[in-house]
Amino acid sequence: MPDARVIPLPGLGPATPDESSGTEPEGGTAPSPERGHSEPAHPEPERPEAEHPEAERPRSVAGDEPGTPGWERALAGALAFVRRRLAGEYQVDEFGFDPDLTDNVLLPALRPLYENWFRVDVIGVHNLPSQGGALVVANHSGTLPLDALMTAYGVHAEHPAHRYLRMLGADLVFRLPVVGVLARKSGQTLACHPDAERLLRSGELVGVWPEGFKGVGKPFRDRYKLQRFGRGGFVSAALRTGAPIVPCAIVGAEEIYPKIGDIKALARLLGLPYFPVTPTFPLLGPLGAVPLPSKWYIEFGEPIPTDGFGEGAADDPMLVFNLTDQVRETIQQTLYRLLTQRRNVFLG
Amino acid sequence: MAPKVVLVTGVSRFLGGHLAARLAADPAIDRVLGVDTVPPSRDLQRRMGRAEFVRADIRNPLIAKIIASTSVDTVVHASITATPQGSSGRAAMKEMNVIGTMQLLAACQQAPTVRRLVVKSTSAVYGASSRDPAVFTEDMGPKDLPSSGYAKDAVEVEGYVRGFSRRRPDVAVTTLRFTNFVGPRIDTVLTRYFAMPVVPVMVGYDARVQLLHSEDALAVLERAARHHLPGTYNVGADGVLMLSQAIRRAGRIALPVPPVAVPAVARLVRSAGLVDFPPDQLRFLHFGRIVDTTLLKQEFGFTPRWTTQQAFDDYVTGRGLRPLVDPDRVSAVERGILDVAGKLRAR
């Protein structure tokens, strides 16, 4: 089984980072058959090979000769990764995105949550372009923005080109220690026009959650009711760059931390947009941080082209409002459809 | 218009001194005048060749007489600095930066011969915060105006320069917003910072750092002095290093400092004479700063020869920084583990 997922690529280490790296929590067990995708060894097309000039060295030791067991390749990959980190031999882009760390540590860390806990089903991944810029617009929910993390993991894992979803986050994310650093290193940046347009122009897949805190922090009784979609800033960014908008509906995230209350005074004290009360938090203390294991569906809808509106379309507020509404309606309808198909919150 | 008489401020420092030397090496330029309050080092003086050193304080109206009597046509204001000279401290640095610029601009305004002004500014004018876009273009401003220190000086200096260019529209004003310099010879806050064996960093933060090789900085200043290139340009190398990554590349060890201890550590490092890290630059260590250099490449016509990584590596090798953890040793350990693994398999 492990042989199936090693593609010898010149310049790359012998171990593909995703399955076989030692940092991966499951320890390189055989893939469970019920998984929809079989992970055919990430060739990582986005990473320039010059990035790992050192990768030759361990390969000569670990050997590419047939019959090298998977764990040994994993070990070699992990050691090469550690050496790269120690020597600072990796590239980050201007947003602080660190593909080496993302592939080897951050994304693998999300895998158990994605596959075993939420059992995410991704629908319509073919609606994401395999190259060029596009703007993924999704509904936001769940008290903590796990939906964003799961969408990013899903896009990278399920898309044939294994694209990275570069998400736009609130400034609070980047103000927080550790969280802000991890967000930048995994490719996220501040939700603002310059950053959105810069990413789209350079042909990245950009993810945006226009409801913001209103969406992620809405009370449980308002679940699956889309909030106001900001001021349509994401639409004008797409119009300016001509990038298509891909509506994305996420079902399941609403139930992970049912927010039944909000301690406003505490939120103000801590400088947070809300301080949630869920059935388990803060009642059970740290245990309350364990999300409920709802079954998730993430559906990408048909792309809405934005390049046919001509010059100055982004400065036409009526067009921007209409497009915003169109995207919002599409997501809302998809949510309703997915919800009617769902029989059980936890079993799907 | 090729410059005939060039006046360079801040010649006792690396950039000013070497710029004067480069310009003096060109026979097409009649005179190169270097101004500073302290004379350049002997080595620098030798390099400067026929450039004349004028010991003068730009805060003093005397500078107007020098400009008028020598009919200077190009002024390169390279003395704005983040590193206070000697023990005089930050107050003197601010005096020099802001009041010095005011006097210099006043003198230039009086002098009809001046046709070109080049100002060495800094990308610190953009500030550093969590609310900033990832990449600054020239038309952006800081979210919060820097409240003190070098960044505030630079913002004020740029304000006076804008005022000057309004009053003297016939003078071509080039404002260069440099990122942090590194190089084998230049001495800056950052080069001292990375030279510490244990480098204090902010716990939970990792800054994006864009650097510029000192030779590229000199080339940009020289190009601005020689050619008619009015405008404001960001000047920085391609590519990005994370602060943690740079520390590892230099073979140093990062010491995460919690927020409460930051002022104490900053004081300690300063009093030990290692680095004088001004409080306003501590914010830079939280978030870092990246600037867009499209204008530099397309309109100014200059592409830095060193990337950020190359510039940093050149600094590391040029300074002879010995890594605390030898990379060969790391590879040896790695090979050892894999050998053991191979033997385990063979059995």
Tell me, what's the pLDDT at A25?
39
Task: Tell me how close the Cα of B203 comes to any Cα of chain A, in angstroms.
Answer: 7
Q: What is the 3-state secondary structure (H, E, C) of B196-213?
A: CCEEEEECCCCCEECEEE
The pLDDT of residue B60: 85
Mean pLDDT for the stretch of residues A22-39:
40
Return the residue of A nearest to B203 by Cα: A177
- Contact between A140 and A211 under an 8 Å Cβ cutoff? The reply is yes
- Of A66, A56, A75, A23, residue with least CA distance to B344: A75
Mean pLDDT is lowest, of A63-77, A212-226, A258-272, for A63-77
Both tokens of A152, joined, read 């990013």
Q: Please tell me which of the candidates B130, B246, B325 has its beta carbon nearest to residue A180.
A: B130
In sequence order, the β-bridge partners of residue B289 are B209
What angle in degrees, to the nearest 10, is found between the helix axes of B62-69 and B100-110? 40
- The answer to whether residue A3 scores a pLDDT higher than 70 is no
pLDDT in tens, B156-190: 999 999 999 999 999 999 999 999 999 999 988 89
Q: Give the residues across from A277 on adjacent strands.
A: A261
Pairwise CA distance, residues B17 & B9, whole Å? 9
Q: Does A175 sit within 8 Å of B133, measured CB to CB?
A: no
Higher local confidence (pLDDT), B168 or A285: B168
Residue A50's pLDDT is what? 42
Instruction: Name the pLDDT band for A20 (thresholds 50, 70, 90).
Output: very low
| Of residues A133 and A32, more confidently modeled | A133
Contacts of A48 (CB under 8 A, 6+ apart): A91
At residue A285, does pLDDT exceed 80?
yes
Query: Which of chain B's residues have a Cβ under 8 Å away from the Cβ of A174?
Result: 130-131, 287
Contact state of A83 with B246 under an 8 Å Cβ cutoff: no
Query: A318 in the Ramachandran plot: left (φ > 0), alpha (ψ -120 to 50) or beta?
Result: alpha
Of A76, A85, A87, the CB nearest to B327: A87
Q: To the nearest whole number, what is the mean pLDDT of chain A?
A: 84
- Asked if B290's CB is within 8 angstroms of A171's CB, the reply is no
pLDDT value at A45 more than 50: no
The separation between CA A179 and the C-alpha centre of its own chain, rounded to angstroms, equals 15
Q: pLDDT tens-digit profile of A54-105?
A: 444 444 444 455 667 788 888 999 999 999 998 899 999 999 999 999 999 9
Residue A65: closest C-alpha in chain B: B342
For the residues B233-255, what does the mean pLDDT come to?
Answer: 94
Could you give the count of Cα atoms lying within 13 Å of B312 in the half-sphere of its Cβ? Answer: 29
CATH of domain A108-256+291-341: 3.40.1130.10
Residue-wise pLDDT tens digits, B38-60: 999 999 999 998 999 999 888 88
Q: Where are the domains of chain A?
A: 2-91, 108-256+291-341
Q: What is the pTM of this model?
A: 0.86
Distance CA B117, CA B105 (A): 9
Contact state of B205 with A80 under an 8 Å Cβ cutoff: no
pLDDT grade, residue B88 (50/70/90)? low
A88/B246 CB distance under 8 A: yes
Query: Given this model, what pLDDT does residue A73 score?
Result: 87
Supply the pLDDT for residue B84.
63
CB contact under 8 A, A96 and B132: no
Sorted by sequence, the CB contacts under 8 Å of residue A299 that are 6+ apart come out as: A122, A123, A124, A248, A249, A251, A334, A338
Quick one: pLDDT band at residue B86, thresholds 50, 70, 90? low
**pLDDT(B85) > 60:** no
Is residue B222's pLDDT more than 90?
Answer: yes
A109-118, A147-156, A258-267, B280-289: least confident range: B280-289
**Quick one: CA dihedral A274, A280, A286, A291, positive or negative?**
negative
Contact (CB<8Å) B335/A177: no
Q: Choose the most confident range, by mean pLDDT, from A44-58, B60-74, B226-240.
A: B226-240
- pLDDT tens, B286-325? 899 999 999 999 999 999 999 999 999 999 999 988 877 7
Of B290, B335, B341, the CB nearest to A94: B290
